[in-house]
Amino acid sequence: MDTFTLIIEDLELEAVIGILDFERVRSQRLIVQGAITYCYEGKNFIDYISVKEKIKSLLQTKQYGLLEEALEDITQTLKQKFDTIISICMTIKKPQISDDCSIGVRIDKTF
């Protein structure tokens, strides 16, 4: 059985996320980066479009308070959907939350 890593780079979307008052009433731009390591054998692959759509759907519908909560939920949901996942490294950035930098949070999860 071989090990592969699915890469997601610069996935951009709009979502309501955050704990500041203004973050709760309007969506903001997010950028998601990810590396999902999984075991591959034969037809046991991970559908990358399904992964991308699941990430977008969760972020756009759940309206998380914290980036940490979002990352925990996304990683658990992906593992439940694709049991061959070994580890997930994922970052969510808020590029417009600060005038002088892009701020984000990363999770490194091994199952």
pLDDT tens, position by position, 43-99? 888 999 999 999 999 999 999 999 999 999 999 999 999 999 999 999 999 999 999
**DSSP structural state of residue 104:** E
Dist CA 74 CA 70 (whole Å): 6
C-beta of residue 54 within 8 angstroms of C-beta of residue 77 = yes
User: Which residues does 56 contact at the CB level (< 8 Å), separation at least 6?
Assistant: 11, 13
User: Where residue 1 falls among pLDDT bands split at 50, 70, 90?
Assistant: confident
The pLDDT tens digits of the residues spanning 13-59 come to: 999 999 988 899 999 999 999 999 999 988 888 999 999 999 999 99
